[in-house]
């Protein structure tokens, strides 16, 4: 049984699923009315006047291959904007028939044809190498240190690079390319997102190694922590300056994706990760309206009291962390969840509807949440499943 799903939820869900199959497999939903009420809800998800629960369980580009029933060249998809637009257009033709909207981006980005300036990444700074299989959509970062001696030597090298950060991070032709980029009206390159500190450190040093490092050698673990925070802030400030932005005009908001944060207990997280996320948010999100967001696919409810100190404004956590629990801990956060991604990708029709019923019941009259996948929307998630959840929102998710 899914977390928090009751027999009553499943009974109601089964009735809607049975009705859907009796009608040929397309869930009964007034498409025009759904999108009208959806748009009204999304204008202010905190409003007590919104007509129905906001909906965010959209299919993503990862769903294209299964939906169209043919292989996608993912390397070309991500490197050839015109090809990507053609693939998305074919997908959207089907989406429009099933869910009533074109949901993937078909536009050609304005930067196509303009050569972007080259800048190294934080992972380059810490010598992490990416690897992926031929058909993988994800780049996996491989460790750059295997033991404490290697880690200490690595941090010595990183320290030297930070003292000459511009020389290390920016390509030799940076000045020329950056000037052309900005003259063409492109937005300055910026640092607004990063793998969270635990995920990054686990990639750099390994999960078990990081845990034992914090327990056995807190001085070296603290050095890694402090150097990662310095690297983030120094790189961000450098890019802002190169983009012609004064400190007071710096971009606001920062997002962490920290799937591995569950690997540390609360005490370890408070020691290692909290100073990093807080330090970055204090700089990039100092005001109440600035975005402080975190995604994690994992069971990290034990960390929420610590994140509450940072006054998170956006949360997308693992499917075992319930929406009402998030609301209690993070009263100002826009909650995205808590549909289990594999409920969607395995096409568990009863489960999809039941999990919406669970979340809507748990939130009651609370606002500020969107019914969405608690994590990524994975391949296998179908447009018919999305339509089924739209029908569940329309039938069971109306506010009185």
**What are the boundaries of each domain within the chain?**
120-169+191-250+265-284
pLDDT at 10 > cutoff 90: yes
> Can you give the pLDDT at residue 28?
95
pLDDT at 132: 65
Residue with tokens 């009705």: 19
Lowest-confidence pick of 66-70, 83-87, 110-114, 171-175 = 110-114
pTM of the model: 0.90
pLDDT of residue 16: 96
Q: How many CB atoms lie within 10 A of CB 41?
A: 22
Q: What is the mean pLDDT of residues 16-40?
A: 94
* 6: pLDDT strictly greater than 60: yes
pLDDT at position 341 over 50:
yes
pLDDT in tens, 101-136: 999 999 887 766 677 888 898 999 999 887 765 555
Encode pLDDT of 276-295 as tens digits: 999 999 999 999 889 999 99
Question: Residue 354 — very low, low, confident or very high, per pLDDT cuts 50/70/90?
Answer: very high
Q: Tens of pLDDT along 360-396?
A: 999 988 999 999 999 888 889 999 999 999 999 999 9
Q: Predicted confidence band at 191 (pLDDT cuts at 50, 70, 90)?
A: confident
User: Is the confidence at residue 358, as pLDDT, over 50?
Assistant: yes
What does the pLDDT read at residue 180? Answer: 86
Indicate if the pLDDT at residue 255 is higher than 70. yes
Rounded alpha-carbon distances, angstroms, from residue 57 to 50, 176, 288, 371, 381: 18, 43, 28, 6, 10
Half-sphere CA count of 36, side-chain side, radius 13 A: 5
Mean pLDDT of the chain: 91
Q: What is the per-residue pLDDT for 111?
A: 67
Region 254-272 average pLDDT: 94
């Amino acid at each position: 049984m899914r977390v928090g799903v009751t027999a009553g939820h499943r009974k109601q869900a089964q009735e809607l699923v049975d009705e859907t199959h009796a009608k040929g497999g397309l869930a009964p939903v007034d498409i025009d009315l759904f999108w009208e009420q959806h748009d009204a809800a999304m204008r202010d998800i905190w409003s007590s006047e919104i007509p129905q629960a906001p909906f965010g369980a959209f299919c993503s580009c990862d769903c294209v291959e299964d939906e169209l029933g043919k292989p996608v060249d993912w390397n070309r998809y991500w490197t050839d904007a015109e090809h990507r637009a053609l693939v998305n257009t074919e997908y959207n033709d089907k989406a429009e028939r099933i869910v009533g909207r074109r949901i993937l981006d078909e536009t050609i980005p304005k930067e196509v044809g303009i050569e972007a300036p080259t800048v190294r990444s934080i992972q380059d700074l810490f010598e992490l190498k990416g690897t992926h299989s031929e058909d993988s959509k994800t780049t996996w970062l491989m460790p750059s240190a295997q033991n404490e001696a290697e880690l200490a030597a690595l941090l010595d090298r990183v320290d030297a690079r930070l003292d000459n950060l511009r020389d290390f991070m920016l390509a030799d032709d940076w000045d020329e390319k950056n000037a052309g980029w900005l003259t063409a009206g492109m937005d300055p390159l910026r640092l607004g997102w990063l793998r969270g500190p635990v995920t990054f450190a686990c990639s750099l040093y390994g999960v078990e190694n990081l845990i034992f490092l914090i327990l056995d050698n807190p001085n070296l673990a603290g050095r890694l922590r402090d150097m990662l925070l310095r690297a983030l802030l120094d790189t961000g400030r450098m890019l802002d300056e190169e983009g012609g932005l004064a400190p007071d005009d710096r971009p606001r908001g920062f997002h962490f994706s920290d799937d591995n944060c569950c690997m540390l207990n609360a005490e370890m997280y408070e020691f290692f990760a909290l100073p990093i996320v807080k330090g970055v948010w204090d700089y990039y999100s100092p005001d109440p309206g600035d975005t402080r967001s975190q995604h994690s696919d994992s069971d990290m409810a034990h960390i929420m009291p610590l994140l509450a100190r940072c006054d998170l404004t956006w949360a997308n956590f693992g499917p075992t962390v319930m929406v009402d629990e998030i609301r209690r801990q993070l009263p100002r956060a826009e909650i995205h969840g808590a549909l289990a991604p594999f409920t969607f990708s395995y096409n568990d029709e009863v489960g999809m509807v039941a999990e919406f019923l669970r979340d809507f019941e748990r939130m009651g009259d609370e606002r500020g949440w969107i019914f969405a996948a608690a994590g990524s929307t994975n391949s296998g998630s179908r447009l018919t499943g999305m339509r089924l959840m739209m029908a569940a929102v329309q039938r069971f998710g109306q506010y009185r």
